């Protein structure tokens, strides 16, 4: 049986995890490899990228590990160049990088605003700007951006920088989708809901008093009674990156157990 990404090269920014557990980035990179892709694992933390590479190689896949700060143009350009040098093409660009800071407009200082915007939206623009010419020359490609349902609804805790930056990711996604559709390039976004991942859990821990109280409260908000997992995001991303989604373009796909269907 042919694997869904057989013969393709996937460039995954944010392919590591902030802990040794599973996060959206390393789960997606590993799943892409399981489905036949050669994976360029990029993370700001080189060791985190190498852990993901080791997971892929340990399962018989093909991957390289690179470190790059997605908010720095030269670093993005170098990572893309290294990927092309190794594999000769890029068929899938997956943007998973994101940071979350708690605070509303009055509590958030200018430096925090600039830092979150640089990572969460400028970084996606930089990777797309560099990879789109490659995909155009290849006459095809798929871009998967990780946004959030926080891009279009209140989730109970103020994080003005996260909400605003993820809303911008949605519009970047749809702009690229329309402008590059005739060139065979698709661009879609996954909008995770309340997920049980290290990147999200750690910033919210202090708001709830204890880890158990936080998990219980977030689980209770979900129609399913449980938060989602990194693999839920990974499988949605796999669909959007594959030919099964060949006529899906500009979609903002909620992966939230139905939370978006509830009133805000």
Name beta bridge partners: 185.
141
Which of the four pLDDT bands, split at 50, 70 and 90, describes residue 264? Answer: low
Domain boundaries, the chain: 9-253
For 9-253, which CATH superfamily applies? NAD(P)-binding Rossmann-like Domain (3.40.50.720)
Which of the four pLDDT bands, split at 50, 70 and 90, describes residue 95? Answer: very high
Q: Name residues whose C-beta falls within 8 Å of residue 250's C-beta, 6 or more positions apart in sequence.
A: 173, 174, 177, 178, 187, 188
Residue 8 has pLDDT above 90, yes or no: yes
pLDDT for res 263: 65
Give the model confidence (pLDDT) of 198-251 as tens digits.
776 666 666 677 778 888 888 998 999 999 999 999 999 999 999 999 999 999
Question: Angle at the Cα of 84 (from 83 to 86), degrees rounded to 5?
Answer: 65
Name beta bridge partners: 144.
94, 188
pTM above 0.85, yes or no: yes
Residue positions annotated with a catalytic role? 162
Give the model confidence (pLDDT) of 24-52 as tens digits.
999 999 999 999 999 999 999 999 999 99
pLDDT for res 208: 72
How many CA within 13 A on the CB side of residue 210? 3
């Amino acid at each position: 049986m042919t694997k869904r990404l057989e013969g393709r090269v996937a460039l995954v920014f944010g392919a590591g995890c902030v802990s040794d557990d599973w996060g959206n980035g390393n789960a997606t990179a590993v799943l892409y490899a399981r489905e036949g892709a050669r994976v360029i694992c990029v993370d700001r933390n080189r060791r985190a990228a190498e852990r993901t590479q080791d997971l892929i190689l340990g399962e018989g896949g093909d991957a390289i590990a690179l470190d790059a700060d997605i908010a720095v143009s030269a670093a993005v350009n170098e990572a893309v160049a290294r990927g092309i040098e190794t594999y000769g093409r890029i068929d899938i660009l997956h943007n998973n990088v994101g940071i979350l800071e708690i605070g509303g407009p009055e509590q958030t200082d200018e430096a925090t605003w600039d830092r979150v915007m640089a990572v969460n939206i400028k970084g996606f623009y930089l990777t797309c700007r560099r990879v789109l010419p490659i995909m155009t020359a290849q006459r095809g490609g798929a871009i998967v951006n990780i946004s959030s349902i926080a891009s279009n609804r209140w989730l109970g805790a103020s994080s003005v920088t996260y909400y605003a930056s993820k809303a911008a990711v949605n519009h970047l996604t749809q702009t690229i989708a329309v402008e590059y559709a005739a060139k065979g390039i698709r661009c879609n976004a996954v909008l995770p809901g309340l997920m049980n991942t290290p990147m999200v859990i750690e910033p919210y821990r202090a708001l709830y008093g204890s880890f158990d109280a936080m998990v219980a409260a977030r689980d209770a908000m979900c129609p399913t009674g449980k938060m989602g997992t990194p693999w839920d995001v990974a499988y949605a991303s796999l669909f959007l990156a594959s030919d099964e989604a060949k006529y899906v373009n500009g979609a903002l796909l909620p992966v939230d157990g139905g939370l978006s269907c509830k009133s805000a």
